[in-house]
Structure 1
């Protein structure tokens, strides 16, 4: 049998999926043991017991200086910024993408601008945003919006353009107005793609969030990572990076479940 036709069963898929993670964990344990054997004070690859103690301190014990439980305070601050940024970006992308897809005049006026803005490196705009909007929450949210919305807008417009033209023609023959075509024909078919586009932008959104928090913040996951890096506190950095990754994975799973629940027909079409 050719390898291209060899499909693993469910148990084999589970083993193959977990194997790379097991290999990474084994490599870390070996590297940590080697470095700690050479230098017990080494901070680069802390032992699992050290990581566990740091997680307990960060996630369960109040900070002596502020009284907050640092991990949860930082998580709430970051998720609030991320939620505002992704919410505004999603709403803006849906409105502009739908207009560009349905209205030729809007397409001619907005498509070049959206394409141009999507090519601007968002992190290069961070100093400008801090100068114009200050060092508060607005500039951090604005960076997420600017970094995410143009890409989502172009993605939605492309998805709308891929819809069969016959659907628009049939709606027009039934005397549907432009507004009705946009709401009843185009919008329901691009909403699943909107959720998928949001899923694909979770990684960049976290990147922009952490970059903004690293420069100017008093709480947040990115702020904490860059605060302790000067002390080489890898026992804090590793758990925070793992927690950020877990949050992104959980958001991705949640959005996937939401799409399947709201638009089950999109699975059949895919």
Structure 2
């Protein structure tokens, strides 16, 4: 990761046409070929897409090197150290056609905690997450459900390695807040769709949810951004979920999938 960032810094200082990063893979793929053998090497990605994929679990490039490349507008090309090829070009959004969905990332390093029946009042999120932050535990997804009785259920995810510590802290917080119950699950996983084309196309979430439902995969949590949709599912469904979505969005095929061909009511 450090050497990648150094290479990008040198390329920026020298005003190079692009920075070539040689790795043990021949580019960035639509998803992990070990799970989906039909996964396809992507000829190009935007900086934003690569940052999302890297933050969500793709290990090809370190986040800092991509951030640096984006800041100084240095095109990156991921190439194989072992074979010839064009690799994957990572550049600005204006330099390339926008794919609807570029890739599927996933992460098994997830655990979920819920505190139920806490007062629905200002500052409650801080009172729950403050002690978690004080323990240097990173929080990822957050969902708050407000009940009709004036209480709320608060759910968040952490790294699996932090699960036991976070659960212990949350149980102490629950006593202070008079919460009804605390529960946790460290057998979950996160699956994420990434693509700048989401900004201009409707129906992506519907297609995703319908495809997972057809395979009997229950969605436990949902998180979205402009170019990403993430869902939390039971860990046992991770690989099936990735394969299902790869097929639903036709990611093995060259070119851009059209929403009209993806989403059909019924």
Normalized per residue, which structure has more strand?
Answer: 2
With structure 2 as the length reference, what TM-score do the two structures score?
A: 0.23
Q: Structure 1-normalised TM-score?
A: 0.23
Which structure has the greater CA radius of gyration? 1
